């Protein structure tokens, strides 16, 4: 009831929640209360969780904030949702996002932008902006988001909450609508490091429905957050604190590092020389995978379908017009027109094109075009194949660094939340927001953003810890 009234009071302004299941949540709360009373409740009893609108919940919409899925309801629960239910979480609402998780501001959405609860002239970050804002505005105890290149950590930084991108394969992707399958990770956004640890413990683990999920045992993550050990080695990569980083953020993180050092941590200067290729590599590979993943939205099997009657009518009229022109034409012109008539797309292909034209927003179309281009014959070796090689080099930088340090520290994003609307016409500027986050996805390692301070502009900013694959415990330890 507490969260429902917060949503009713403030969601009209913040726009983090896109649909809410009040009755379902309240009756579930009653049911769980009974289990709490007789001592049989699960680990998450009392936690109210919001879900990014690309993780499937049975009988609920999963729109990806896209017209193409605006009528889509899932017939099954994602594995993470199943696990949340088993542990007695209450699922209250579906959360706003950038369309198909493509973006850094939650402005590419059919629902209108999510606003930053700390200052509603600012973006909440993205693509899990709804998930970060919902936690910051106290619309739920915690939320789930997805992180392909920073989409959990960057909005967490902008909204002043904790955001975890687990190791690739730590959490099942079954029921997560795909953006870039070799990058996508589901993770929690929370008020505290401990809550993130508790949630990871619930959602992590092997799943026969996702053969990239790891069968490694799930540790007691909570213990790392409850009994932090300050005797750790923290790698400080020079490349992450250079040009482009807001000076106050840089100084603020330095102050936190000094505190950690006073408490027993050792700061180790390190180098990650290929970091500078992170953004380029990410935007080649992620768009390539996206163009392939999004080919399934054809308006035939499911999703938005353009009106076939309109398509057939237009086709008929065009055919008649050309046939008429052919009658009047002579010589070359006649040959050309006849060829044009011959080459016209069938009604079915036109339906497919029109459905996708109407269904996808500009940024998604841009990614499909970029991704199709880098995969095309003649360009594949120059872009896609080369980017795969650079991905390996970035991964090797980290492997080497983690021989000497427990965690690596960096800013989460180069600035605090920017004004709504400012980067909308400049996709490259928008992509540069991901400069500190994409490397972890390229390498498959884990990353955690924790609030690090408040800027003189009044906005929060985060700092990021990264750890080697399956070392989330070290993140909770350092983050705490
Ligand atoms: N901002 C990045 C992008 O637009 C990351 C998105 C994500 O992690 N889902 O691709």
Q: In terms of domains, do 326 and 240 share one? A: no
Whether 127 is catalytic: yes
In this prediction, does ipTM exceed 0.90?
Answer: yes
Look at residue 87 and give its three-state secondary structure: coil
Domain membership flag for residue 374: no
Instruction: State how many domains the chain has.
Output: 2
* Closest ligand 1 atom number to CA of residue 148: 8
Q: Do 284 and 408 fall within a single domain?
A: yes
For residue 431, tell me if it sits in a domain: yes
Q: Is residue 382 domain-resident?
A: no
From the CB of 150, is ligand 1 less than 6 Å away?
yes
pLDDT in tens, 164-189: 999 999 999 999 999 999 999 999 99
Which contiguous run of DSSP H or E holds residue 348? helix 347-359
| pLDDT of 8 strictly over 90 | yes
Domain match, 284 and 305 both: no
Please report the beta strands in 26-127, taking only residues with DSSP state E, as ranges in sequence order.
Answer: 48-52, 90-95
421-433 pLDDT tens trace: 998 888 888 888 9
Integer-rounded Cα radius of gyration of the chain: 24
- Alpha carbons 181 and 168: distance in angstroms, whole number: 10
Same domain, 273 and 187: yes
Q: Is residue 366 part of a domain?
A: no
The pLDDT of residue 383 is above 90: yes
Is 265 a residue whose pLDDT tops 90?
Answer: yes
The answer to whether residue 377 is domain-embedded is no
CB atoms within 10 A of CB 30: 8
Q: How far apart are CA 176 and CA 116, in angstroms?
A: 25
Query: Where among 359, 382, 402 does a domain terminate?
Result: 359
Q: Between the CA of residue 175 and those of 46, 97, 155, 245, what are the distances in Å?
A: 24, 17, 22, 36
* CA 436 to ligand 1 centroid distance, Å: 12
Q: What CATH number is given to the structural domain containing 101?
A: 3.90.1300.10
Say how far apart CA 87 and CA 131 lie, in whole Å. 20
CA–centroid distance, residue 184 to ligand 1 (Å)? 10
Q: Are 74 and 152 in a shared domain?
A: yes
Residue 33's nearest CA partner among 47, 50, 49, 46 is 46
On the 0-12 / 13-18 / 19+ scale of CB atoms within 10 A, 267 is middle
Q: What integer pLDDT is reported at residue 199 of this predicted model?
A: 98
Residue ranges in 87-161 assigned as alpha helix (H)? 129-136, 153-159
Name the nearest CA neighbour of 122 among 104, 102, 135, 139. Answer: 104
Q: Average per-residue pLDDT in the chain?
A: 97
Distance CA 407, CA 70 (A): 41
Cβ neighbour number for residue 123 with a 10 Å cutoff = 29
Residue 159 lies in a domain: yes
Same domain assignment for residues 220 and 330: no
The number of residues making up the chain comes to 480
Q: Does 302 score more than 90 pLDDT?
A: no
Expressed in percent and rounded to 5, the helix, strand and coil fractions of the chain are: 45, 15, 40
pLDDT at position 113 over 90: yes
- Residue with the smallest CA separation from ligand 1 atom 4 is 103
The closest-lying atom of ligand 1 relative to the alpha carbon of residue 150 is: 8
Of residues 55, 54, 50, the one with CA closest to residue 25: 50
Q: In the annotation, is 52 catalytic?
A: yes
pLDDT of 301 over the 90 cut: no
What confidence tier does 293 reach under pLDDT thresholds 50, 70, 90? very high
**Predicted local distance difference test score (pLDDT) of residue 427:** 87
**Average of pLDDT values for 51-80?**
97
pLDDT digits (tens, 9 = 90+) for 192-239: 999 999 999 999 999 999 999 999 999 999 999 999 999 999 999 999
HSE at residue 267, side-chain half, CA atoms within 13 A, is 17
Q: Which domain does 243 fall in, by range?
A: 2-291+392-479
- Contact in structure between 163 and 169 (CB atoms under 8 Å): no
Which residue has a Cα nearest atom 5 of ligand 1?
A: 149
Q: The tokens 């009893």 sit on which residue? A: 45
In a domain, 317, yes or no: yes
Q: Are 286 and 316 in the same domain?
A: no
Is the confidence at residue 50, as pLDDT, over 90? yes
Residue 161 φ then ψ, to 5°:
-125, 180
**Are 260 and 337 contacting, i.e. CB atoms less than 8 angstroms apart?**
no
Q: Are residues 92 and 137 in the same domain?
A: yes
Integer Cα distance of 477 and 337 in angstroms:
71
Structure tokens at 180: 């870039």
436 pLDDT tier (thresholds 50, 70, 90): very high
Q: Which of 160-174, 353-367, 393-407, 424-438 has the lowest mean pLDDT?
A: 424-438
DSSP of 249-292: HHHHHHHHHHHHHHTT-EEEEE--GGGGGHHHHHHHHHHHHHHH
- Rounded to 5°, the CA angle 365-369-370 comes to 115
Give the strand pairing for 446-454 and 162-165.
antiparallel
Q: Contact, 332 vs 340, CB < 8 A?
A: no
Whether 341 and 397 share a structural domain: no
Place of tokens 């009518």: 313
Are 159 and 212 part of one and the same domain?
Answer: yes
Report CA dihedral (409, 411, 413, 416) to the nearest 10 degrees. Answer: 150
Domain boundary pick from 306, 341, 359? 359
Please tell me if the CB atom of residue 213 comes closer than 6 angstroms to any atom of ligand 1.
no
Ligand 1 centroid distance, CA of 479 (Å): 23
Nearest CA-CA partner of 186 in 201, 162, 210, 167: 167
Q: Is 79 within the bounds of a domain? A: yes
Bigger pLDDT: 418 vs 302: 418
Ligand 1: atom nearest CA of 430 is: 1
DSSP state of 382: I
Whether 338 and 411 map to the same domain: the answer is no
Neighbours of 345 (CB within 10 A): 12
- Do 314 and 284 share a structural domain? no
Q: What's the pTM? A: 0.96
Dihedral sign (CA 455, 459, 465, 466): negative
Q: How far is the CA of 38 from the centre of ligand 1 (A)?
A: 44
Tell me how far apart the alpha carbons of residues 58 and 78 are, in angstroms, rounded to a whole number: 8
Of the candidates 66, 131, 151, 410, the residue annotated as catalytic is 151
Which whole number is the average pLDDT over 331-349?
95
| Model pLDDT, residue 385 | 97
């Amino acid at each position: 009831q507490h969260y429902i009234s917060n949503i009713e009071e403030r969601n009209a302004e913040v726009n983090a929640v896109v649909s809410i299941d009040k009755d379902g949540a309240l009756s579930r709360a009653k049911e769980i209360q009974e289990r709490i009373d007789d001592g049989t409740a699960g680990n998450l009893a009392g936690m109210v969780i919001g879900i990014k609108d690309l993780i499937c919940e049975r009988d609920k919409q999963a729109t990806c904030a896209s017209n193409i899925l605006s009528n889509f309801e899932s017939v099954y629960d994602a594995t993470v949702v199943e696990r949340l239910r088993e542990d007695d979480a209450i699922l209250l609402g579906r959360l706003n996002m950038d369309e198909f998780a493509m973006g850094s501001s939650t402005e590419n959405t059919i629902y209108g932008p999510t606003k930053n609860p700390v200052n509603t002239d600012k973006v909440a970050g993205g693509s899990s902006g709804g998930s970060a804002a919902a936690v910051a505005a106290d619309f739920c105890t915690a939320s789930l988001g997805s992180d392909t290149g920073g989409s959990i950590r960057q909005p967490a930084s902008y909204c002043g909450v904790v955001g975890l991108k687990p190791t690739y394969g730590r959490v099942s992707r079954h029921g997560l609508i795909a953006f870039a399958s070799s990058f996508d990770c589901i993770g929690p956004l929370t008020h505290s490091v401990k809550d993130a640890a508790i949630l990871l413990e619930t959602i992590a683990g092997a799943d026969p429905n996702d053969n990239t999920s790891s069968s490694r045992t799930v540790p007691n993550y909570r213990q790392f957050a409850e009994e932090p050990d300050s005797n750790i080695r923290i790698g400080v990569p020079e490349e992450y604190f250079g040009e482009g980083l807001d000076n106050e953020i840089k100084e603020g993180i330095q102050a936190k590092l000094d505190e950690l050092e006073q408490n027993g941590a050792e700061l180790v200067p390190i180098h990650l020389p290929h970091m500078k290729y992170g953004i380029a590599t990410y935007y080649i590979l992620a768009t390539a995978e996206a163009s392939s993943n999004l080919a399934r939205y054809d308006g035939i099997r499911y999703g938005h379908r353009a009106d076939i009657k309109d398509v057939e009518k237009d086709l008929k009229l065009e055919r008649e017009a050309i046939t008429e022109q052919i009658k009047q034409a002579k010589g070359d012109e006649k040959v050309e027109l006849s060829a044009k008539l011959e080459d016209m797309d069938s009604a079915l292909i036109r339906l497919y094109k029109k459905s996708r034209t109407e269904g996808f927003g500009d940024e998604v179309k841009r990614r499909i075009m970029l991704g199709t281009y880098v995969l095309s014959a003649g360009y594949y070796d120059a872009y896609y194949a080369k980017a795969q090689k650079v991905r390996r080099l970035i991964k090797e930088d980290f492997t080497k660094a983690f021989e000497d340090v427990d965690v690596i520290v960096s800013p989460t994003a180069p600035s605090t939340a920017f004004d709504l609307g400012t980067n909308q016409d400049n996709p490259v500027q928008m992509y540069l927001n991901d400069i500190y986050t994409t490397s972890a996805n390229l390498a498959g390692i884990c990353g955690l953003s924790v609030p690090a301070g408040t800027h003189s502009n009044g906005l929060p900013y985060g700092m990021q810890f990264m750890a080697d694959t399956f070392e989330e415990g070290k993140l909770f330890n350092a983050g705490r």
